Amino acid sequence: ESQRQALFAYEDAVRDMLSEVRKKFFTILLREQQLAERRKTLKEFQERHEQIRRLEESRRVLEVDVLTARLNMLNEEARINLLEREILRKKTDILHLLGFPVGMTDMALQGTPEEFSLPVESAVALALERSSSVAQARAKVEDQARRLREIWWDYAPDVAAEFGWKSDLTAAGLSMGSTDGLYTLSTFAEEHSEDLNGYLRDDFSPLGREEGWFLNLALELPVFEGLEIRGKALKERALFEQASYDLRNATDEIEMAVLQATQTMLERRKEVDILRETVSISRERLRVQEQLKELGKISDNDLENFRTQYFRDQDQLFTQQIALVEAQEDVRRVMRYFEPLPAK
């Protein structure tokens, strides 16, 4: 029992470690993609700043336009710095989990964030098949069923039997006996000496001195045990029913955990899809407003409002992308399924 408990605890620890490593790994990959987008935006701001600075030298724009362009560039540099620091921290964490030196933070991770998609029925089936809590509960049910069966063997008839060949001075054969449901089989061979002047020859066998095959059989049947067997059976059956209930409860908990984790993942995925389209629209609106600003049709404050909204939408998208990765890994953790999905 203790060895089995230790095995299940080890499997749980391995599951938790794999899940944590995968979360950090895919978070780093996603953050690096977001960092690339930020750097692309920063390059656009730098080009925009240089363009406005030249226009300001020819007195075609105001100095405040140059300052605004410079401020936008600095804000984006600050966002890039935050992403770089977060990536560095995540890499340090993953190196610690893997047992590698923390000085290897310049390592390059390869891969792409995975999209996890599996029918709920298949996810539940896999989770039940791999769940340590369900396996542990099932083992207890099997053990209790075995104990319930053993009660009747404890009160099985005790049997003693001998079978073999005998003569006046020798005997050989098989001997079988039972005690509390334990049946044993052994061989025997005996020889008596004539020097004893026949003193033991009459007691050599219940069959006397006749030569030939013999069979001795004794059967002891329990008649009344003071309802002891019934009491033990009731106790073991109650424990068996409790173990069966625990198994059903463990199964229900796994099914519920898979359903909840899957629902959360689907909600996060929908939010990411909506935010992707939102960011695309917000980006296009900002581009149009920048053109209107160059034509003098809107004020600086109007343009900044659109730019602030764009960055707010983008930040929400980046946050939800991380939440989606974590939700997918939560589903895998509940299922104990960390392998690639089978090809469709």
| pLDDT over 70 percentage in the chain | 88
- The chain-wide mean pLDDT, for the chain, equals 84
Structure tokens at 257: 């955990």
3-state SS assignment for residue 343: coil
Amino acid in the structure at residue 67 = L
Residue 202's pLDDT is: 43
Residue 199's pLDDT is: 44
- How large is the average pLDDT for residues 186-194? 75
* pLDDT (tens digit per residue) in 285-303: 988 998 888 787 888 788 8
Instruction: Please state which of the ranges 34-38, 97-101, 182-186 shows the lowest mean pLDDT.
Output: 182-186
Calpha distance 266→282 (Å, rounded): 24
Structure tokens at 27: 């978070």
Is the pLDDT assigned to residue 243 strictly greater than 60?
yes
Residue 33: exposure state from Cβ atoms within 10 A (0-12, 13-18, ≥19): middle
Which residue shows structure tokens 């098989």? 174
Give the up-direction half-sphere exposure of residue 285: CA atoms within 13 A in the CB hemisphere. 17
Residue 104's pLDDT is: 81
Note the residue count of the chain: 344
Q: Supply the pTM of this predicted model.
A: 0.70
* pLDDT (tens digit per residue) in 57-82: 777 777 877 888 888 899 999 999 99
* pLDDT (tens digit per residue) in 86-133: 999 999 998 888 888 877 878 888 877 778 888 889 899 999 998 888
Residue 180's pLDDT is: 62
Calpha distance 216→176 (Å, rounded): 10
Which residue shows structure tokens 């909204």? 309
Structure tokens at 25: 């790994």
Residue 51's pLDDT is: 85
